[in-house]
Structure 1
């Protein structure tokens, strides 16, 4: 089957997906409550949808197509409140964060859905280990060539998204020393990482056809790339972000993505090149391990720099786009994050350092998710 035509969407429109943790109120471990929770939401009128994810202790919420930051925040806030109301009778709490701090992957249960069973059959234990939680951001593009150009240009900013969203310092009861340990699980899948370098939708179609002939893939969902095109939506999808601890931070990150895309497409400040891939994996690792303190290498000049020292200038550079798109509060929130050097991973670590147990850390994350602002 040939790759489907790229379905044009409104340029710079947004869509956000958040994978969320379902938490038992007593022991603060993950609770396999997705089936019951989804049943309670079956007739709810939501701005978007709530769907199962690969294991029973997680769900995914999705917005409808949004114009910008304010629309994303409104939709996510509405859905958050509906989820909390539906989960309360089940004695289940909900929280963000890229990993659960102490859950054991061996205890997870696969959701009864054909695609999830197919993934389990192919990837074995990795399917249960895939109980990690990310934010995906869709950005609308008018055509396939524009989508691929934006995908390659955005790839230079993958470390920025990782560092700003990092919220997964703990895995199975241990401090990993990573800001985003979640991505180590994602990287275990063979079709993860960076998309191949091409700026032509026609050429990408030929690549997809070769991959399909191997039997490795049947559709775009089989690629777990950090950024991938979604022709059925007319978007590119950024997939490297941990789920933040609040809907406010999730909306701010979507606003940042929209402003960055607008600047890249309007100014064309860089020329995507295949050589960008030479430092891509190194830069991505640095951001996962060290967050804002990551030591990155510019792929063209080979200059080394500290991510957190460059981010303030980038955020200020994007303010004209933010003013036009209504995303000034989004960039201001991220400016404060960078200035304090305190993202979600740092906040979680601070709780443990302050004397909380790991279950106490989860309880605080649930409280933070439920907070109205």
Structure 2
């Protein structure tokens, strides 16, 4: 039975944000997600808030939007509702890609059919998957467009890694990476990227073969950095750490939306063999070095600094940003890139000031809930 691709409005956008649920004693992860979700069920929210794989996580799903400003407004209201209800339970929530000092063995799997199946299949990896990402959905009109835009977007995955990086600490140590979260994702056997198919019919053939071997049952079984999402009619960019603010989250969605518009307006077939030959190397460079990563450029037979590549891309798509209403978002992204300032840098700066990981997480949670002191720390960074 072929996978049907649901048509959606081209360039519509939505986000998923996985958030930490923390206690207010030492700012370690809490098992409070169930109680928090019970309270949020009674609050009117435009999108949805759901459980994630362990009881220390929640997932925010926005509604479908077409304009950056509307998405940001919605995320801000949802953030405020979550913060309010968490406070009534003496909990706080935070962004960030990985909790810096929790112990994975302390986590508990949420007892849904899917999460229990994942736990049974992947063992301890399921608890280690208590990491926190942002997924961005962008609408396309057909399965063929989804395959095409997924391949085109793969070239820009390092940009999203550097811009969203927010997990430099893991298991109590500075990892020297901008993001440590992606190593947890990479441990899964179906991590990676879309195979070099070029049409939706070809992809259906690939999916059917994988299913016939008992490897997959649905698209959710693919832990790719970007994947088509046929039931929504979107491509889903899954590479980002959850940012420390809703403003950054909305800006990342705006960048994905504007890039997709560029791909659809200026169609060109990507050089798949060359692109995927350097894919893993460029992904590693971005995880390790962020804006200073040296990306292999197979067409130029050389390297380009990620920061320069990102800024050149932003210049190229600026006219489309004006049409889509994403100019302010892309300007903010360019400003951060020029300054080399992402959330990984901010976290390291807070640790340098406090010399305490719990205090750093306290400030991280304050930044998420838009406390004035956290804003001042952001400006100082």
Name the TM tier (shorter chain).
over 0.9
Residue number in structure 2 paired with 1:354: 353
Equivalent-residue separation in structure 1 for 2:102 and 2:53 (angstroms): 15
**Deviation string for 1:71-130 (max 9, x for gaps)?**
210111111011011111111001000011111101111111111100000000000000
* Greater Cα offset, 275-284 or 307-316: 307-316
Equivalent-residue separation in structure 2 for 1:146 and 1:302 (angstroms): 29
State the 1:275 CA deviation.
Answer: 2.8
The reply to whether residue 301 of structure 1 matches residue 300 of structure 2 is yes
Contact kept? 1:153, 1:272, Cα under 8 Å: no
Residue number in structure 2 paired with 1:337: 336
Contact kept? 1:149, 1:272, Cα under 8 Å: no
**Deviation string for 1:120-164 (max 9, x for gaps)?**
000000000000000000010000001100000000001111111
TM-score (norm 1): 0.98
State the 1:299 CA deviation.
Answer: 3.1
Equivalent-residue separation in structure 1 for 2:298 and 2:82 (angstroms): 43
Equivalent-residue separation in structure 2 for 1:83 and 1:356 (angstroms): 29
Query: How many residues are aligned here?
Result: 372
**Deviation string for 1:147-206 (max 9, x for gaps)?**
100000000001111111000000010000000110000000000011101110001000
Please show how residues 73-112 of structure 1 align to structure 2 within 5 Å: 73-112=72-111
Equivalent-residue separation in structure 2 for 1:270 and 1:291 (angstroms): 27
Residue number in structure 1 paired with 2:272: 273
Secondary structure in 1 aligned to 2:18? strand
User: Deviation above 3 Å: which 4+ runs of structure 1?
Assistant: none
State the 1:270 CA deviation.
Answer: 5.7
Residue number in structure 1 paired with 2:55: 56
Secondary structure in 2 aligned to 1:159? helix
TM-score (norm 2): 0.96
Contact kept? 2:109, 2:116, Cα under 8 Å: yes
State the 1:269 CA deviation.
Answer: 5.4
Equivalent-residue separation in structure 1 for 2:312 and 2:300 (angstroms): 18
Secondary structure in 2 aligned to 1:261? helix
* Greater Cα offset, 57-66 or 348-357: 348-357
Equivalent-residue separation in structure 1 for 2:24 and 2:355 (angstroms): 16
Equivalent-residue separation in structure 1 for 2:320 and 2:46 (angstroms): 26
Contact kept? 2:98, 2:131, Cα under 8 Å: yes
Equivalent-residue separation in structure 2 for 1:293 and 1:270 (angstroms): 28
Contact kept? 2:354, 2:360, Cα under 8 Å: no
Equivalent-residue separation in structure 1 for 2:217 and 2:268 (angstroms): 35
Residue number in structure 1 paired with 2:172: 173
Residue number in structure 2 paired with 1:140: 139
State the 1:13 CA deviation.
Answer: 0.5
Secondary structure in 2 aligned to 1:354? helix
Residue number in structure 2 paired with 1:282: 281
Equivalent-residue separation in structure 2 for 1:310 and 1:147 (angstroms): 24
State the 1:319 CA deviation.
Answer: 1.3
Contact kept? 1:80, 1:370, Cα under 8 Å: yes
Please show how residues 1-373 of structure 1 align to structure 2 within 5 Å: 2-268=1-267, 271-371=270-370
**CA RMSD, 1 decimal:** 1.1
Name structure 2 gaps, 5 residues minimum: 376-381
Contact kept? 2:294, 2:305, Cα under 8 Å: yes
Contact kept? 2:151, 2:270, Cα under 8 Å: no
